[in-house]
Amino acid sequence: MVRYEQSQPTGTMIIADPFYELIDAESLARTAVTMTDARWIQAGSDVAGAMVFVGDGDGRLYVPEYAPLSPVLRQLLRLPDTPNYHSQTPPTFDLYALPSLPEMELLAEPVTFADKITLEGYELLPTNSSSTVTLLTRWLVQQPLPPHLTIFVHLLNANGEIVAQYDGFDAAPTALRTGDRLIQLHPLALPAQEGPFKLQMGLYTPADGQRLTHSGSPAELLILATDLHFDEK
């Protein structure tokens, strides 16, 4: 990927990786491609999925064979069946032009957490499944983010009990830059019980469990919906 990237015009690498551990850090450091030029997303069979859209919109998406994007994410991004480039030497990778941001309804008043990251919009995706529902969120990076930043999503029953939960942030937070946008998928396993359900979310740092706050109330989380029903279970 590094050798191929050196032959390309100026642009930002978006690299899919099973653990977004900056696996090519040493080789990238020995080339003209610096780590500040790369963004990393986590991908693989057990990963919900996220995509980064760089501030200037100029980027290329690298998808190695060992880090495939989820079908739901591919569909959202409208990636073509045939990539712009497919390498021949194992492990192979596919190269795509950076896709456009998926269309979605945006919040009239975006919500900024800790002056660092702003929720611009969210929606529950249509699904044919009777056992899961997926929330899609869209974010704007305002300042450098803390390591291992995590988004939590809770589905609560009428008694206020958490009946489904997803925690994740499928991009390397410290590699993101001011002006970058991110979409994140949050799959939730639907409970057997009937609604109504409440949907809430927030962000925290796992090392200390500290939640990022916003200016609303309650400050440590955001209530997205209070009367959800999933009648087709």
- CATH code of 106-228, in short, is 2.70.50.60
- How confident is the model at residue 122, as a pLDDT? 97
The residue with tokens 């994740």 is 168
Locate CATH 2.70.50.60 in the chain: 106-228
Q: Is 106 helix (H, G, I), strand (E, B) or coil?
A: strand
10 Å CB burial of residue 17 (0-12, 13-18, 19+) is buried
Element (H, E) at 93: strand 93-97
Per residue in 120-173, pLDDT tens? 999 999 877 678 899 999 999 999 999 999 999 999 999 999 999 999 999 999
Per residue in 13-65, pLDDT tens? 899 998 755 444 454 455 444 555 789 999 988 899 999 999 877 889 999 99
| pTM metric for this prediction | 0.89
